[in-house]
Structure 1
């Protein structure tokens, strides 16, 4: 069921990373938000968000683009983890993404998203503003 994951204070970064990447693959923004800290920080090639509301918006936008997400690797320990995945999106057929995830008190405290933004920028240059 979407959005029902409750992270416990002793949830490790590795455990949370697995929940996080599975939720992304399922476009389950509610679960992602439920495992995130109120002051979560997300750094990506398109900028930085701070706080749960902005992070929700970032994840909702990403979820709308995903056609398929395949997990390639998840490694970590108690405090931080790295997830690597191949994502197919409407604008770009394949992108390999790595995220460095940090956890505090069993919640996603920050994620640093790393990918080549060039193909997405090329797509955005072709899109007409509303």
Structure 2
């Protein structure tokens, strides 16, 4: 977790996702809450670490 902010209606979470293809992939979520339930979630992530992984895989693939 990098940061988290919010109130009773909106929350913003920023974190660094660690996955098999990307050891570090910054991501953020903005959620809208109504009556104590999440009614909307917007997810944003940096695709560059995944693209770099794909390029490395393609460079080492048999031809």
TM over 0.5: yes
Where relative contact order (Cα < 8 A, 6+ residues apart) is larger, the structure is 1
**Aligned length, in residue pairs:** 57
TM-score by length of 2: 0.72
Would you say 1:119 and 2:49 are equivalent positions?
A: yes
Q: How well do the aligned residues superpose, as a CA RMSD in angstroms?
A: 1.9
Greater helix percent: which structure? 1
Tell which structure's C-alpha radius of gyration is larger.
Answer: 2
Q: Distance in 2 between matches of 1:111 and 1:124?
A: 27
- Structure 2 residue runs of 5 or longer lacking an equivalent are 59-63
Greater strand percent: which structure? 2
Deviant stretches of 4+, over 3 Å? 121-127
- Structure 1 residue runs of 5 or longer lacking an equivalent are 1-70
